[in-house]
Chains A and B, each alone.
Chain A
Amino acid sequence: MKSNQPNVGRRKALKTIGTAVAGIAVGAAVGWFAKPVAEVYKTVTSTATSTVTQERTVTVERTVTVTPTVTQVTTTRPSRPWEGKWWEPFMPRPDRYLYPRYPWTKDILGVPEGEYMYEDDWARQVDWDKVKGKFEGKTITCTWEGTATDVPEFYKPTFEKLTGAKINVVAIPTELLHEKIMADLVSGKGEYDIMAAYFGWGKAYTPYLYDLRELFEEFGFDIRAYHPFCLMPNILGLDGKLYGFVSDADIWCFTARMNILRKVGIDKLPQTWEEVLAACEALMPLKEKEGIYPFVAVYNAMGFPCAMSFFDIALQWEDFKILKGDGSWEPDFLGSSGGGREALMVYKKLIEFSPPGALSYIYADARDDIWLPGKAAMTVGWTCLPHLAHYPDISKISPYFTDNIIAVGRVPKGTTQRSPGIWPCTAAAINKASRNPELAFLYTVFMLSQESMTVLALGSPSENHVGFKEVLADKRTWRLSPGWEITWKYGWSAAMSPFCFLPESYEIAEAVGTEIHRYLRGEITDPDEALKNAEKAARTILERGGYLGPRAPEVPPLTLDEWCKKVGLENPKPI
């Protein structure tokens, strides 16, 4: 031991350096031969670098073949194609799925037993005879976020009986969702056929996804049935390809518990952020007495969550457009007349009115800890917040659907009343390397067509919003899910975040959120400084992706109206 010691230092250092150099040399050689798996995909189309002036979205004239029924129907209503067919008992219907689970929905929806809600439901137009012959015995894997596996599981038994195929549902933990799906897509092994895709992570998936246009054509489904607010950032690529199905088309809304607000003399839903903050002030005494917080901001953790919340609030200011608005990708988070700054200050005040610990909320814990047990009076966030508050087995807020307790409205106004900025909703996509793309398509459509999605959304707490125009306009559903009314009435005025077209969307949001969070928790006291830092962070990533250089792609339209005009879709304006 002692004899070794004097030389140990030098020898060890030399040895390590030598090993390191050798290692790097060996590693470089090894790495040269073991090229990254993704290099195989040289045929990747980079979505963001293609210009927006592309072909129009493919819409197909839907031909519905109405085959006359075999038996003479003596009722006065016209015969439907699916009556008398062997597969009709498998079709989703409210009395088959919804009423048994939540019996009180029957009276509210008013759909009699044995009746369907939507005539044009896609699933019923499919020739299931042909399908059964073709796909008997095949298996597909459907992956979904672990928290919401009840979505693919909902119709799985029915579909398996209907087609004779087998569906293998694999759950992935939320923390690993994006990475695992991305890793599987890049590796090209086609392990997952259907995947829950949050395109809010950016269009990183799109090079590996099946272009669904041909399948939509083959089965005669018209994407114009969707409300455009969920199409644009979600499933329609800038290159005109169709990447997914809308599954949960969430939108942000403002929810208040009117019974609490009435205690301090407020009778109507606050319409502007000033009114909201005034209401919070008025509610402060209640905090001491009953332990109810005036507000709970639900999505504020450092990174993506607080960036998203900030954008959704800030887009209510007319001059805040996220980008400079001069046709370049230069970010401008201050807004031409300080809208961004005001919004950030409003956001900070909301956090101050929220319970301690709010700065690390990522929605699930806020919803669980504070909102559903009934500890907050107002909140802004996804439509599940008011929706779940009505379920007596889940929340302590209202015994189901009693009037005058929960009021839902648009996100409060800043200087403009826009619908919140649309960050994309949940979608389901099909892997390009899938071995059974048609079968995967059929199951996804079976899960997510008009009737199926409505029954699913009303009967399952996890996916609880739809994207179909017909469903959103259907007043019967508004009573059960107020968020749908908000979406239908105001979704047409949505403002877009241009970043969600880019693969780097998540990264940008994370970087922006890191800087904004420092202001929210008091590390930086000047909102301008925080916003400038956020701009800088976003710029770094944009620069790296080549969006600020000479060959940058065109900036997509920043409002839903403009986008619809560009792509040739109709933007439904109910009012």
Chain B
Amino acid sequence: MRIEYLVSTIVLLFLYSWLFFPFIYSIYISFFEYVLTRPDVFRFVGIKNYVQLFNDHMFYTSLTITFTYAVIALTIEFLLGLGIALFLSKDMYGVGIMRIVVGIPILLVPAATTILWKALSSKTYGIFDLITSYLGLGSLGWWDDPVLSSILVILVDVWQWTPFVAIVLLAAILGLPKEPYEAAKVDGLSTYTVFTKITLPMLRPTIMIILILRFLDLLKLLEPVLLITKGSYPTLSMYVWRYVFKSLNIGFGGAFSTIYWLIAWILATILLRIFLKYRI
């Protein structure tokens, strides 16, 4: 067999053998009523789980919230990450250390990051209250106010994952060939033109990929919402956590997984089309 099909087959085989069962089981079980707390009941109910899902207003709320968080967090992470990557791609004093420091947040266990920000925003252990009192705003409810808790959740995610974007982009920038830049220097182009006409186009593939990957991951946002805000303004993962995981309603969970997968599939296809159009 030709090498490309051989390798592809091996990789796909590996992926399918480990992750296919949960996926296919979810679809199968979504047509049944099966709740682990009453395991003696196992009957075929057709699309009842889907109907229940689409009738649940919390589902739509969590859908909206997830998208809002995803778009906002992605924009911030991308802009900040790109900026940091560009900044650190230069050869300046201390750049080696900076490149390490910037990467540290992703090395922290996400559970630890959440605890850290929970402490920072708490009334006894953290300094948020000190800062807001100093600014004259008094003590705020960071954990349950709709706007503030959203800010906190997005802040936690941005703090931890902007370095991910930054490092991937940094590595990409460092791998760019030098020739176009030297030619640009000779031609005397301005920094702005160099950036938009040379750097950006060459970075497009990496940018597109990082956007798709980060977006897919943001749709799965769970830890900050779960541990800090306890889900008053739930994301999709929080919805799953509460209505499937906690209630052990496997059939309903299967319906949710199927629908979620479809939504992710549609989004990824759209993003990929855009990506394919731009790939050199």
Contact = CB atoms under 8 A, between A and B. Distances in A.
Given A27-B27, A27-B28, A30-B24, A359 B124 contact: no
Nearest to A208: B39
Contact of B38 (A46, A305, A356): A46
A506 interface: yes
Given A179-B245, A356-B142, A510-B242, 12 more contacts: A30-B25, A36-B250, A38-B39, A39-B42, A204-B248, A301-B230, A302-B230, A357-B142, A359-B144, A375-B123, A504-B38, A506-B247
Nearest to A201: B37
A175 interface: yes
Nearest to A12: B269
A278 to B, nearest CB: 24
B29 interface: yes
B279 interface: yes
Interface in A419-464: none
B27 A24 contact: yes
A358 B123 CA distance: 11
B22 to A, nearest CB: 11
29 contacts: A24-B24, A24-B27, A28-B28, A31-B29, A42-B40, A44-B39, A182-B36, A186-B36, A301-B231, A302-B230, A303-B231, A356-B142, A356-B144, A357-B123, A357-B142, A359-B141, A359-B143, A360-B228, A360-B230, A369-B124, A370-B123, A503-B38, A504-B35, A504-B37, A506-B37, A506-B247, A507-B249, A510-B242, A517-B232
A506 B244 CA distance: 12
Contacts of B28: 24, 27-28, 30-31
A348 to B, nearest CB: 13
B122 interface: yes
Contacts of B39: 36, 38-39, 41, 44, 186, 207
Q: Categorize the interface residue count of chain B.
A: 35 or more
B139 A1 contact: no
A233 interface: no
Nearest to A302: B232
Q: Categorize the interface residue count of chain A.
A: 35 or more
B276 interface: yes
A191 to B, nearest CB: 16
Contacts of A38: 36, 39
A521 interface: yes
A202 interface: yes
Contact of A360 (B33, B124, B139, B229): B229
B221 interface: no
A360 B143 contact: yes
B226 interface: yes
Contacts of A356: 139-142, 144-145
Contacts of B144: 356-360, 521
Nearest to A288: B138
A362 interface: yes
Given A373-B124, A375-B124, A301 B247 contact: no
If over half of A's interface residues share one DSSP class (helix, strand or loop), that class is named, otherwise mixed; here it is helix
A339 interface: no
A356 B152 CA distance: 15
Interface in B205-248: 226, 228-232, 242-243, 245-248
Most chain A CB within a 10 A radius of its CB, from B29, B36, B39, B149: B39
A398 interface: no
Contacts of B247: 506-507, 510
A181 B276 CA distance: 47
A365 interface: yes
Interface in B45-104: 58
B246 A506 contact: yes
A10 to B, nearest CB: 13
Nearest to A46: B40
A365 B122 contact: yes
B42 A545 contact: no
Interface in A484-515: 503-504, 506-507, 510, 514
A31 B25 contact: yes
B27 to A, nearest CB: 6
A355 B141 CA distance: 8
A310 to B, nearest CB: 15
Interface string A203-223: 010010000000000000000
A23 interface: yes
Contacts of A34: 25
A368 interface: yes
B256 interface: no
B232 A521 contact: yes
Contacts of B229: 360
Closest 5 CB pairs of A and B: A356-B141, A27-B24, A204-B37, A359-B144, A38-B39
A172 B143 CA distance: 25
B34 interface: yes
B36 A204 contact: yes
A392 B36 CA distance: 44
Contacts of B145: 356-357
Interface string A170-193: 000001001100110010000000
Interface string B1-43: 0000000000000000000010011011100011111111010
